[in-house]
Amino acid sequence: MSIIKKIFSNSRSSEDGIFFDAIQKILGFKPLNLNNYRKAFTHRSMNKVDEKGNSINYERLEFLGDAMLGSVIAAHLFNEVPTGDEGYLTKMRSKIVSRDHLNELGKDLNLIKYVESKVSTQHFGENIHGNLFEALIGAIYLDRGFVYCEKFIHKKVIVPYVDIPKLEGKVISYKSLVIEWCQKEKKTFHFDVFEDNGNEGVKYFGVKLKIDNKIVARARATSKKKAEEKASQRAYFAFQEKMSPNT
């Protein structure tokens, strides 16, 4: 009993423990040293400095994370699209690492929840989400090196978001492809959307896509539109041969 009391009375380590768990959940692996992750969530309004007078906030980490993200995406595109020339690769990369896209990624991970700031988070602009996302990648690089950066980016960016045909503009919306196909095939379709917040403290929407009253795909995302699109994409890939616009 006294040991438990001691643990809880030590608010510092309990706070560290909560932060550690949150970071581990976001990363999908154990952080080795929390310092850089703390920095990745420290806004300049905190006016923190280290013992040498250097500012402690996430802005320098953004620079580092942006560079690492750029090279991981470059390597992915290089390997994934052997037909793409330098111009194509450059263009595709800038679509993937666009400000809007990074903001979306940061928002989906709800990074803003962990920011230490003297300014209310409501006063931040949209870019805070992408900035935190880049800073987090910078912290991962410092903590665990390039290979872990690559793993994280693969899991959080490439697998869920990097859809090359869509980025190429060949597919505008999977939802419209699904609808067209259903109409052509005289099938009924229905997107069953519901709120699905889980324990994450951020609004999520779940969707079940039914075709002829049978669930063919499920998805979950931070907006209705995204959840529908994700479910449609899953259905599209499952039925790709039947629905491909080229066949």
134 labeled binding residue: yes
Shorter beta-carbon distance to a copy of itself: residue 45 or 223: 45
Shorter beta-carbon distance to a copy of itself: residue 84 or 166: 84
Closest approach of a copy of itself to the CB of residue 95, in Å: 15
DSSP 8-state code for residue 42: B
DSSP 8-state code for residue 121: G
Shorter beta-carbon distance to a copy of itself: residue 155 or 242: 155
Q: Which of 40, 42, 22, 41 is nearest to 30 (CA)?
A: 22
214-220's contacts with Cβ under 8 Å and 24+ in sequence apart are 220/196
Tell me, yes or no, if 16 is annotated catalytic: no
Distances (CA, A) of 92 to 96, 137, 168, 242: 6, 20, 7, 28
Distances (CA, A) of 51 to 12, 39, 154: 20, 15, 36
Tell me, yes or no, if 50 is annotated catalytic: no
Q: How much of the chain is helix, strand and coil, in % rounded to 5?
A: 60, 10, 25
Six-digit token string for 133: 């996302």
Closest approach of a copy of itself to the CB of residue 34, in Å: 18
Shorter beta-carbon distance to a copy of itself: residue 62 or 229: 62
Closest approach of a copy of itself to the CB of residue 186, in Å: 39
Residues at the contact surface with a copy of itself, assessed by CB under 8 A = 52, 54-55, 59-60, 62-64, 66-68, 70-71, 74-75, 78, 82-86, 89-90, 138, 141, 146-147
Q: CA 58 to CA 37: how far, in whole Å?
A: 9
Closest approach of a copy of itself to the CB of residue 80, in Å: 12
Q: CA 118 to CA 212: how far, in whole Å?
A: 53
CB atoms within 10 A of CB 156: 19
Shorter beta-carbon distance to a copy of itself: residue 134 or 228: 134
Which residue of the set 104, 134, 143, 150 is catalytic? 134
116 labeled binding residue: no
Which residue of the set 66, 108, 150, 229 is catalytic? 66
Closest approach of a copy of itself to the CB of residue 158, in Å: 15
Binding site members for Mg(2+)? 62, 131, 134
Residue numbers annotated as active site? 66, 134
